[in-house]
Amino acid sequence: MIGFSKGSLFEAFMNCTLVFGLLPNNSLEVIGVGWFLGTVFLFYMLFPFFVFFNE
What confidence score (pLDDT) does residue 6 get?
77
Domain borders along the chain are 6-54
What confidence score (pLDDT) does residue 32 get?
65
Going from the C-alpha of 43 to that of each of 3, 40, 51, the distances in angstroms are 34, 5, 12
d(CA 51, CA 55): 6
What confidence score (pLDDT) does residue 49 get?
94
Closest CA to 41 of 22, 18, 24: 18
Q: How far apart are the first and last CA of the chain?
A: 53
What confidence score (pLDDT) does residue 15 get?
73
What confidence score (pLDDT) does residue 48 get?
94
User: From the first residue on, what is the mean pLDDT of each consecutive set of 10 residues in the chain (55 residues)?
Assistant: 73 75 63 74 89 90
What confidence score (pLDDT) does residue 29 get?
59
